[in-house]
Amino acid sequence: MKFRRTLAEPDENIELNLIPLIDIIMFLLIFFISTTSMMQEKGVFVDKPQSSAGSSSGENTSIILSVATDGKVSHEGKEIGLSGVRPTVKRLCAEQAKPVVIQVSDKSRSGVMIRIIDEARMGGAKDVSVASERS
């Protein structure tokens, strides 16, 4: 008796059936897509407190500069011009740095606004923001 192994290929080809594997992957994909779309972000609703002083407290904490369509700069109704922005901001920020809000007309030039922002920052403003107002 001879027990000898043959290294020849078997008569039947071995096939790997991938259809059940694809079915499982599709099922997992559908499961994860459906569960993540149903999840809601949890959060806490916060009721913000209202100020009893009204708008007067906002005037004390920020410097409001207005720019007209012709490029004239004013603070609290007084025209200060572009050259008066830095001294005004420096004077008002002497104790503590305050934010500056620039109210700009939609027809005013952007170059004037950029120069006012630069002057306010050189005057010691903490933050400079622009509030656009349609005329």
Task: Give the pLDDT confidence of 3-43 residue by residue, as tens digits.
Answer: 666 666 666 777 788 899 999 999 999 998 888 766 565 54
Alpha helices in the chain (DSSP H): 19-38, 56-61, 85-92, 110-122
Q: Return the domain boundaries, the chain.
A: 58-133
User: CA torsion, points 6, 7, 11, 13, in degrees to nearest 10?
Assistant: 150
Model confidence at 45: pLDDT above 80: no
Model confidence at 73: pLDDT above 60: yes
**Which pLDDT value is given to residue 112?**
83
Task: Give the pLDDT confidence of 46-57 residue by residue, as tens digits.
Answer: 444 555 544 444
Domain 58-133 fold is Nucleotidyltransferase; domain 5 (3.30.420)
Task: Give the pLDDT confidence of 79-106 residue by residue, as tens digits.
Answer: 888 888 888 888 888 888 888 888 887 7
